Amino acid sequence: MGLTNRKLFCSIWFITMSLFSTGYASNIITWVPPYNWQACLNMLNTDFGGVKMEDGITHLALQFWGPVPSTGGIKYVDHEWQTPNDATVTEFTDWAQGKDVKVMLCIYNNDSTWNWDIVQPIIDDPAKRTNHVNTLVSEVQRLGLDGVEVDYEWPGGENSDHTNFMLFMAELSNELRAIGKQLTIATFAYTWHYPNSDGWNAFADITDGITSMGYEEIGRNANGWASYSGQKNLINIPEKLMLGMPTYAGSSWQGNTIEEQIDWVVEDGEVGIGIWDASLADGAGNPNDAWRTASVWNKLKQIKDRDPSTSMQAAYFTPVQRSEYGIRLRMNPVNVKCNDLKFQIKSPVQTKARASIYDASGKQIWIRNFTTDINGNSKTLIWNTINQNGRKIPSGTYLLRVEADGVNSQDSYSYSEKFGVAR
């Protein structure tokens, strides 16, 4: 076999067989609703026999903010009996100090009912959308929060708004990542509402966690897509999936107890959990004692304490489509056993773009200016895995960054993705 054929063989091998460690940690999120924040705070400080909620959650989402559709701004929600304010937020950020729990600004669209009409005017208007993003990021910085949890729900909604919603999510992701903050999203377990599982792989590219709000309608032994394994099979990066579990459904649902449901996640070793809500109470506000045990919280602690380096991501057996703004990127992270590494980059329009690769220290080691192909055809870039000093790169984690003009040639957009190289 000649050299040319040998290189071709290696390229095909990369695409079909690459497997590497993602380093993603599993997440466990819970929410603090505005009408019940004091009960949630009390529960966060409760000792369940040597273990507390702080030992078993990674994210605490403060569901205190709503959108202002006329401007794209945000505001504290107004509930008659309890209206949160800056002092309320401080109660939780003070609690979280030193506890390895990220406190998130949760923006949601319930103004007595789940109302997409207060979201749509924002995401459909580029100026309002950008103002919404900037306001969210400014509020995160002002209050010393760790990121944003997006809980925009459209009951019965279709995917017709998906393009504009993704523009909003991607823009927010870019701004938050630029300042070291996180982005998570609440979604539905099936396509009966929006956003839903159809978008999980697109959301996984630009968020740090995705909740499946199936709650009592999904479970370890549920049927088909509603089973935990069925849910996991719908996403390429399972560590970013958080299976919704309800505190309002008593001690069991879908034929299994709370602990049996959690055991599935423990044994799975990849996915996480979303717990509604942090008061650990039933739908009437009464204590759900089945959630308030040392056994439950020690199991959740096992999930939180997972070593992310032991999680092997098999999503790259075939090229995975990743999207942000107008850019669609196919890349094949690899075990490098020959010289060339191939990236396929796809854009719906012809536009000027630049691809750069950075090492773990942040040093740029490769750059290529190019023009994306017209008519949506993929543009293939080949890197010989040699850095700008003419040396072959060692094993390690690298960052690919693609920057391009916007679809309407008005804005510049960028996409970043880590990948592993082993020799």
What is the widest separation between alpha-carbon atoms in the chain?
77
Residue 158: CATH number of its domain:
3.20.20.80
Rounded CA-CA distance 353/316 in Å is: 24
Q: Are 346 and 256 in the same domain?
A: no
Q: Are 351 and 370 in the same domain?
A: yes
Q: Are 252 and 350 in the same domain?
A: no
Residue 320: CATH number of its domain:
2.60.40.2550
Entry pTM: 0.72
Among 122-126, 144-148, 217-221, 332-336, the least confident range: 332-336
The pLDDT, as a whole number, for residue 1 is 31
Q: Are 148 and 50 in the same domain?
A: yes
Q: What are the tokens at 342?
A: 């191939």
Model confidence band, residue 123 (pLDDT cutoffs 50, 70, 90): very high
The pLDDT, as a whole number, for residue 122 is 98
Last residue of a domain, one of 310, 326, 355: 310
Q: Are 189 and 338 in the same domain?
A: no
Q: Is the pLDDT of residue 3 over 80?
A: no
- Per-residue pLDDT, averaged over 126-130, amounts to 96
Higher pLDDT pick, 8 / 357: 357
Q: Are 153 and 225 in the same domain?
A: yes
* Predicted confidence (pLDDT) per residue in 315-348, tens digit: 222 223 334 334 444 444 444 444 567 677 766 6
Cis upstream peptide for 277 (omega within 30°): yes
Last residue of a domain, one of 310, 325, 344: 310
Which backbone phi and psi does 330 adopt, to 5 degrees? -115, 125
Q: Give the bridge partners for 365, in sequence order.
A: none
Q: Are 345 and 335 in the same domain?
A: yes
What residues make up the domain containing 213? Answer: 21-310
* Predicted confidence (pLDDT) per residue in 10-41, tens digit: 222 222 222 223 346 799 999 999 999 999 99
The pLDDT, as a whole number, for residue 392 is 82
Which backbone phi and psi does 265 adopt, to 5 degrees? -70, -40
* Predicted confidence (pLDDT) per residue in 289-314, tens digit: 999 999 999 999 999 998 664 443 32
The pLDDT, as a whole number, for residue 343 is 72
Q: Provide the edge-to-edge strand list for the sheet that holds 412-422.
A: 334-335, 412-422, 396-405, 352-358, 364-371
Q: Are 306 and 321 in the same domain?
A: no
The pLDDT, as a whole number, for residue 245 is 98
Q: Are 158 and 198 in the same domain?
A: yes
Q: Are 392 and 270 in the same domain?
A: no
Q: Are 322 and 409 in the same domain?
A: yes
Cis upstream peptide for 195 (omega within 30°): yes
Q: Are 291 and 393 in the same domain?
A: no
Rounded CA-CA distance 182/149 in Å is: 8
CA 42 from chain centre, in angstroms, equals 28
Q: Is the pLDDT of residue 5 over 70?
A: no
Q: Is the pLDDT of residue 126 over 80?
A: yes
Q: Could you write out the three-class secondary structure of the chain?
A: CCHHHHHHHHHHHHHHHCCEECCCCCCEEEEECHHHHHHHHHHHCCCCCCCCHHHCCCEEEEEEEEEECCCCEEEECCCCCCCCCHHHHHHHHHHHCCCCCEEEEEEECECCCECHHHCHHHHCCHHHHHHHHHHHHHHHHHHCCCEEEEECCECCCCHHHHHHHHHHHHHHHHHHHHCCCEEEEEEECCCCCECEHHHHHHHHHHCCEEEECCHHHCECCCCHHHEHHHHHCCCCCHHHEEEEEECCCCCEECCEEHHHHHHHHHHHCCCEEEEECCCCECCCCCECHHHCCHHHHHHHHHHHCCCHHHCEECHHHCCEEEEECCEEEEECCEECCCCCEEEEEECCCCCEEEEEEECCCCCEEEEEEEECCHHHCCEEEEECCECCCCCECCCEEEEEEEEEECCCCCCEEEEEEEEEEEC
The pLDDT, as a whole number, for residue 347 is 65
Q: Please count the structural domains in the chain.
A: 2
The pLDDT, as a whole number, for residue 362 is 76
Closest C-alpha to 339, from 384, 380, 297: 384
- Per-residue pLDDT, averaged over 143-167, amounts to 94
* Mean pLDDT estimate for the chain: 83
* Predicted confidence (pLDDT) per residue in 378-404, tens digit: 677 878 888 877 788 887 778 888 877
Residues 6+ apart with CB under 8 A from 244: 189, 211, 212, 213, 214, 215, 218, 273, 274, 276
Q: Is the pLDDT of residue 410 over 70?
A: no
The pLDDT, as a whole number, for residue 324 is 39
Last residue of a domain, one of 265, 295, 310: 310
The pLDDT, as a whole number, for residue 319 is 29
